[in-house]
Amino acid sequence: MILFAQSGCATSSGDSAHAAPTKPALDVCALATEEEVGAVLGQPAKGRRDDSVLPGRTQCTYVNAAAKGRIVFIALLPFEVSLRTKPGTLPVAGVGDVALYDEAPVGGHLYVRKGSVNFAVNYAFDPLAPGIPDQHSSQIRDRLETLARAIVSRL
């Protein structure tokens, strides 16, 4: 004979009184406007959702046909951004609770934590694509910081 025991808490109105609260999911594509992303791209942007990049990660990809070779990603991160997130990153003041900039040879990445929300804004360009002007790291960083501040203001 096999006996099964069930334990738990139930009330006359059901189990919902003891269920863990659920936090509504953020719509990553609603965190920034196409105009704000367009300022990073240097051209008007068109957004689209791309939820399948990695399990547990939500990302919005912005591109513009007129700005071939340029792309902006905004991603919700499955980890907490801290000063130890990635060695070699530079702390950024005035953006969220913690912000770190990572310079890349073909763009830049800004990792941000505001409260319990962790996100990244990334800009990449193809240096071989025709019509892509030279861009200095400080210009890319300034544009990503401006975009991140706009996102933080909505959280």
Residue 85 vs residue 17, higher pLDDT: 85
The answer to whether residues 106 and 86 touch, using CB atoms and an 8 Å cutoff, is: no
pLDDT classification of 142: cutoffs 50, 70, 90: very high
CA gap 48, 65 in Å, rounded: 13
CA gap 152, 155 in Å, rounded: 5
Residue 30 vs residue 22, higher pLDDT: 30
Q: What is the pLDDT of residue 52?
A: 57
Q: What is the mean pLDDT of the chain?
A: 77
Q: What percent of the chain has pLDDT over 90?
A: 28
pTM of the model: 0.76
**E strand residue ranges, 26-137:** 46-50, 58-63, 70-76, 90-91, 98-104, 107-114, 117-125
Residue 149 vs residue 3, higher pLDDT: 149
